[in-house]
Structure 1
């Protein structure tokens, strides 16, 4: 079972972002999360470049 603790909370306008630190996580789940974050970072960078 995966376990995480909330490390920080950032509130901006209509959204809240939670920073988590995983204390117990399977390697396969960790890879899945890293891949998701990489895809989202790329998507956001592409959006930024289109607006510039």
Structure 2
């Protein structure tokens, strides 16, 4: 997502204007904590997986 949203201000706008799903649940909080194994789906952009270091 870093290549799509570079800052917190952009995230706030993006989440207000676009649908984002974390683990198939709609999400609109820019401070949402993500964990290894989480999936983020952004329609028309892609599917992202959070993996451990």
TM-score norm. by structure 1 comes to 0.23
Which one has a larger percent strand, Structure 1 or Structure 2?
1
TM-score, L = length of structure 2: 0.23
